[in-house]
Each structure stands twice: as C-alpha cells, then as structure tokens.
Amino acid sequence: MKLPNNYGSIVKLPSARRKPFAVRITVGWTEQGKQKRKYLGYYATRKEAIAALAAYNEHPYDVDAKDTTFADLYEKWTKLTYTDRGESIPHTYAAAYKRFPNLHDMPFAEIRARHIQGEINACPLGYSTKKMMKTLCNKLFKLAIDCELVTTNYATNVTLPKHEQSRKHVPFSDDELAILWEHTDDFSACVALVLCYTGFRPTELLRVKKADVHLDMRIMFGGMKTEAGRNRAVPIAKKILPIIEEWMNSSGEYLVVDPRDEKPVLTYDRLRGRIWEPSKPLKLLPRPHLPHDGRHTCASRLDDADVNIKITQLILGHSSKDITRKVYTHKAYSQLVESIDRI
C-alpha cells in the first residue's frame, strides 16, 4: 500500500530484528534538496508501524521530545510550578514521585494506565499516599498534553483502593494535654501543643516563616496541600502565644528551629526522628501519638466548643463552596482568634 505524499514512510530493516519495521518522517530538507528524516520508532509488525504513523499524522508531536522520561517531565513540572517561582516543592509531591522508581527512566509517551496502576498497587502505604501518586500523574499528563508529548491522560483510568477512614490518628485527651503543659520547657512538648492549638499539618507548621507571623493580630499565615489550605490565616491561641513569642526570638527565617543545633526542622522525617520519637514528655503519655494527631485534636476541640463550622473550615483549611477563600478582614481575623481561644 502506497502511503500519501509527506505522510512518512515505513522501512523494513535487514537481519532478524525483534522489531524490524522502522517508522520515519521528513523533518526538513538539506540545501542540496535531500530529505532530513527522523525515526518515530520501531515495531514488530507492519500493521503496528502503520498505526503509529497514522497516530502521528493525526496528532503530530515533537519527535525529539518523544524521549522525554517521567523523571524529565517531573523536573520540568516542578520547575514551572514551584522552583521558578522561588517556592519549595511540596513534600507530598516529592514523596509521590519517589514511589514511581520503575517509571523514572521510561519515556513518558509510552506510559499507560497499567504502568501507573502497577506502581500504585505495589505501594505498601495507605489511601492518601496512593491518591497523591495519582494526583501527581494527572498533573504530569496535563503538562505532557500541553507540550504535545501525548494526547491522552491515561492517569484518569487508574483506580484507587476503597477509602477506609483512618483510625490511626487519635486526638490528645485533656489529661494528656495537661501533661504536655507541665513540660513547656521541652521543645518537643511545645511543638505538640502548637500543633494541637493551630490545626496545622506537621509539615505546614515546619514551613511557616517568621515573616508570616503577626503577633499584633495573633495571626500567622501558612498551609499547603489543597487550594483551600494554602496560605490561610491561622489564629494564635492565647495559650500558645508565649511559645510562639519565644520561637520568634530564635535565629533564622523559619519559626520552628531545633534549639539544639539552631537549624530549621523543615521536614516531617526530621521532626519525627529527631524531636517526636525521642521526646521524654510524649513518652509519659498513656498512649502513643503521631504528629498529625495535633490536627485531629484541634478539630475535635473546636467541635466540642461549638465553634461555627465555617470558622473551623477556615482554621483547618478545609474546602467549602460557601466560603470565599483568602478574603479576610480585620473582623474575620478577630473571629478566628476568638474561636481558637475557646478551646
């Protein structure tokens, strides 16, 4: 079958190759009028080669870009989305990327739902981690489509396991909080108390900079992970104000600084390994707790204090279609502060 002019060509290569049918296209002409050709790929059968050539002609793409790997595209996405703006790559995305070791060197144009599904199924962690893995792939496919590397977002065909409500996070009890308050001379106890009275996710608190803390209004700005949670105003409860004031007097630009080496904590792993797990006050509690339990404590105590659900959503960064995000007034700040002081 003769192919149309300027459509490309299929060449059967000599010798016993596993994929002998090469697909090539014309990308230009030399000064002598000879064609400049590039190869799209190699295929086991002529039928597969014709299908690949037809797909290219229906949706032409940058041939040089076809070798862009999963790792290449991730680097490009993080650069465009975060580093070019002077922002740090969120830990959740960096962690999700590390969960795809078998795809890092794979050309992104060859990745299909089955490849992503296999990595997600093999991940030993829970629903939230797997959901973030799929979210990352969706974002990478969106960029790949914009760059004309692919035409289809195969990540949408990936299925997640049934979401079972996590029971590993338990709020601190009143008695446990009382023990922590008896040990405010200990840095780890102070970190736990601040998490309990702000509702910050652990990494959110670790990323707060002193420039975002306004002691005069008792408000600090921070947050990540979701659109509703990013850069939200979090009130400083009167109970933890002395702790925040002391932290503001430490060195460096970040609020949470390990007093032993005067370095910012910054990562969840550093918080857990160097501060939380070795904590003597936390070991005095009748049951073990995770750093994220502070957020659950704040949510529970706000509910017990009958704080308006919309205020609670603002403090915790939960999304709500009834709330205009990031539009704050002095009245709104005072409402947040008044609410947090009730717990």
Cα separation, 143 vs 155, in Å, equals 13
- Averaged over successive runs of 10 residues, the pLDDT of the chain (343 residues) comes to 80 85 86 82 88 83 76 94 86 91 93 95 88 96 88 93 70 96 97 97 94 95 64 93 96 94 90 94 95 94 91 81 49 88 94
> In the chain, pLDDT over 70 holds for what percent of residues?
90
Class of domain 70-157: mainly alpha
Q: Give residue 323's pLDDT.
A: 44
Q: Which residues, 6+ apart, have CB-to-CB distance to 342 below 8 Å?
A: 302, 305, 307
Q: Give residue 325's pLDDT.
A: 45
Q: Give residue 324's pLDDT.
A: 42
C-beta separation of 180 from 281 below 8 A: yes
CATH level 3 topology of 174-340: hpI Integrase; Chain A (1.10.443)
Q: Give residue 167's pLDDT.
A: 56
Cα separation, 209 vs 217, in Å, equals 16
Q: Give residue 132's pLDDT.
A: 94
Q: pTM of the prediction?
A: 0.57
| Helix, strand, coil percentages in the chain from 3-state DSSP, rounded to 5 | 45, 10, 40
Which of 103, 214, 114 is CA-nearest to residue 158? 114
C-beta separation of 271 from 265 below 8 A: yes
pLDDT, tens digit (0-9, with 9 covering 90-100), for 273-290: 999 999 999 999 999 999
pLDDT, tens digit (0-9, with 9 covering 90-100), for 240-259: 999 999 999 998 999 999 99
C-beta separation of 313 from 302 below 8 A: no
**Residue ranges per domain, the chain?**
9-60, 70-157, 174-340
